[in-house]
Amino acid sequence: MVGNILRAAAAPSVPPAPAIEPAQRLISIEGIARRYRQKHTGEVTVFEDLWLGIDQGEFVCIIGHSGCGKTTVLNILAGLDRPDEGVVIVDGREVDGPSLDRAVIFQGHALLPWLTVLGNVAYAVAARNRSWSKAKVREHARRFIELVGLSGAERKRPAELSGGMKQRVGIARALAIEPKTMLMDEPFSALDALTRGTLQDEVRRICLTTDQTVMMITHDVDEAIYLADKIVLMTNGPGARIAEVVRNTLPRERDRNQMHRLPGYYAIRNHLMDFLVSRSATFGDELAAGRAWSARSVPVVEPGREDAARQPPRGRQPLEPKQLAPR
């Protein structure tokens, strides 16, 4: 091996292979816990000892049943809540309050009703860049309004917009302040299926184009598979934990209408559904039975890795067992 390295170094006609830079850790959730004191039942632990790392440019979805503390984790990361234990580090600094480096998109659009589309986005841009002129603020805001497909609607107020258009304004406002990370709390849950699919496509396109780091809460398994690079599985609360992190083995370039044909798709989906239906409630039994697990080093699993590694024959797509027509 040493001889091969020396010979390669001595051959000027062969350029060295480019170095692969390691992913840059942007967010580090370190041992956080959240507890509430109730009058009759005493202290209730929503979740405890959560550890999670998110790299620059990653799209991470968190799924779990209601009551496991998903939104509380997002609020802590946004600086809107504080953990009872542990810390959250973003870009090397501990989170101790809200910051324009962390944009939040809630389930509701949260627009200012007296401002136009342009006014809502420009308001956030001006708060981020206080030294900019009014013309520069508006020009910057218009660029992101165009990015989400709302050119021509700049003068409309929220009351004149559909639900999907309002969420587009919220996304434009979040992106326009150019945050280090975008936090999304089920932003499409109140929309109809067609609008939801369109906005999912827009968010995916924008995040791939801008290398935006995203943490998103969702209950929708198919949404998580379509959007996420990693999917965090939380057990049921109270006392919720991160059971596993599922690495999405599908190609980053995904076509919504053809995704179900990709090798490994059903393995990922079945793994997520099995967790939500049964394992999220019985994960403690798995640990009691001797399963190796550590809160500080949560297992990262890759369902369908072998399937994804197999290349289908050119000109045809393999059928999953569930797609086979009965004889």
Q: What is the pLDDT along the chain (327 residues), one digit of tens a residue?
A: 444 444 444 444 434 434 434 568 999 999 999 999 887 778 899 999 999 999 999 999 999 999 999 999 999 999 999 999 999 999 999 999 999 999 999 887 789 999 999 999 999 999 999 999 999 999 999 999 998 889 999 999 999 999 889 989 999 999 899 999 999 999 888 788 888 888 899 889 888 888 999 999 999 999 999 999 999 999 999 999 999 999 999 998 888 889 999 999 999 999 999 999 999 999 999 999 999 999 999 999 999 786 555 544 434 344 444 444 443
* Stated pTM of the model: 0.83
Residue 16: predicted pLDDT: 44
Residue 13: predicted pLDDT: 43
Burial readout 70-95 (b: 16 or more C-beta within 10 A, e: otherwise): bbbbbbbbbbbeebeebebebbeeeb
Q: Which domains does the chain have, with CATH numbers?
A: 22-101+179-263+276-303 (3.40.50.300)
Pair of tokens at residue 296: 């500080």
Residue 307: predicted pLDDT: 59
Q: State pLDDT tens for residues 159-197.
A: 999 988 998 999 999 989 999 999 999 988 878 888 888
Q: State pLDDT tens for residues 45-57.
A: 999 999 999 999 9
Residue 319: predicted pLDDT: 41
Residue 308: predicted pLDDT: 55
Residue 7: predicted pLDDT: 42
Residue in the block written with tokens 């942007």? 26
Residue 87: predicted pLDDT: 97
Burial readout 221-253 (b: 16 or more C-beta within 10 A, e: otherwise): bbbbbbbbbbbbbbbbbbbbbbbbbbebbbeee
Task: In whole angstroms, give the CA distance from residue 167 to residue 64.
Answer: 23
Task: Give the pairing of strands 213-217 and 181-185.
Answer: parallel
Residue 323: predicted pLDDT: 43
Strand partners for 217: 62, 185
From the CB of residue 197, how many other CB atoms can be counted at a distance below 10 Å?
17
